[in-house]
Amino acid sequence: MANTIEVDGKQFTVDEEGYLADLNDWVPGVATVMAGQDNLELTSEHWDIINFLREYYAEYQIAPAVRVLTKAVGKQLGKDKGNSKYLYSLFPYGPAKQACRFAGLPKPTGCV
Amino acid sequence: MSEIVKKFLYLNRRAPYGSIHAWEALEVVLIGAAFDQDVSVLFLDDGVCQLIKGQDTKGIGMKNFSPTYRTLGDYDIRKIYVDRVSLERRGLTPDDLIEIAGEDPETEEEIENLVEVIDRARVSALMNESDAIFSF
């Protein structure tokens, strides 16, 4: 049986690891609800990364590995944010895995 | 972590769609990039078609993953080669191929296009000097 999460009264299908089945279904509420399940409250810093990931995916059709994400974030959002300490402070379950899940992307390629 | 750096060569020999080889090869290259080895990627035979610009897969119901090749530079893969003979035999020129940007590891300077079209002598040399060749 497929798993679902409820966002604003609407059901969204997710896979067994909690990633959204169809990224075209994504609405910002998905991220908010998923974060709530992980006991996180999303701040504008979180949204910067989530939006960054969605843009990266739109351009390259993959979710970046964490090493690549770190470097790219540093370039785009400033060196102080392009390090794994900062990203882990926002996404304690792993910036690539957790942030990609909130962003509605599949699990990142090269993620161990 | 092993400190011995080996030379890995990934050979892409097949058309991008119609089989899973091209996409699987790209995933292996991206995952393998985490291991800090000396990686070269060579597009040969029908594999040169993987890099053709402006692919549109709507009609075949498959995901167009050609934009993903442009992340190779982000994954610190800088040795990207295309066999000139394979390209010419298919009526293609370097201008028909996507460009993959990268960065010089020493100077951090932007490199506009890492894709290098090479002749058969370089292809042979590349194969000879590799420790491991993965053919897809």
Q: What average pLDDT does chain A have?
A: 88
Residue A107 lies in a domain: no
Give me the long-range contacts of B101-106 (CB less than 8 A, separation at least 24): B101/B70, B101/B73, B102/B72, B102/B73, B102/B78, B103/B73, B105/B76, B105/B78
In a domain, A108, yes or no: no
The answer to whether the predicted template modeling score (pTM) of the entire model surpasses 0.90 is no
CB contact under 8 A, A109 and B63: no
Any domain includes A110 = no
Tell me which residue range forms the domain holding A38. 3-102
Q: Give yes or no for B58 touching A (CB within 8 A).
A: no
Mutate to test the interface with A, among B65, B68, B72, B74 (most CBs of A within 10 A): B74
CATH number at residue A63: 1.10.10.370
Question: Which one of B31, B63, B64 has the shortest CB-CB distance to A110?
Answer: B31
Secondary structure (DSSP) of A14-55: E-TTS-BS-GGG--HHHHHHHHHHTT----HHHHHHHHHHHH
Is position A19 within any domain? yes
Return the residue matching tokens 């040795």.
B79
Summarize pLDDT for A18-67 with one digit per residue, the tens: 899 888 889 999 999 999 999 999 999 999 999 999 999 999 998 888 88
In a domain, A111, yes or no: no
Q: Which of B30, B65, B67 is facing A110, going by the closest CB pair?
A: B30
Q: Does the residue A8 lie in any domain?
A: yes
**Residue B87 near residue B119, CB atoms below 8 Å:** no
- A76 close contact with B: CB closer than 8 A: no
What domains lie within chain B, and their CATH numbers? 7-135 (3.40.1260.10)
**Structural domain count, chain A:** 1
Q: What angle do CA A57, A41, A75 make, to 5 degrees?
A: 40
For residues B52 and B65, is the Cβ–Cβ distance under 8 A? no
Per-residue pLDDT of chain B (136 residues), as tens digits, is: 557 889 999 999 999 999 999 999 999 999 888 788 899 999 999 999 999 999 999 999 888 999 999 999 999 999 999 999 999 999 999 999 999 999 888 888 899 999 999 999 999 999 999 999 999 9
- Which positions in chain B touch A109 (Cβ < 8 Å)? 27, 30-31
The answer to whether A46 and A90 are in contact (CB under 8 A) is yes
Query: Per the structure block, which two tokens stand in for B117?
Result: 């079209």
Cβ pair A60:B33 closer than 8 A: no
Asked whether the ipTM of the predicted complex exceeds the cut of 0.90, the reply is no
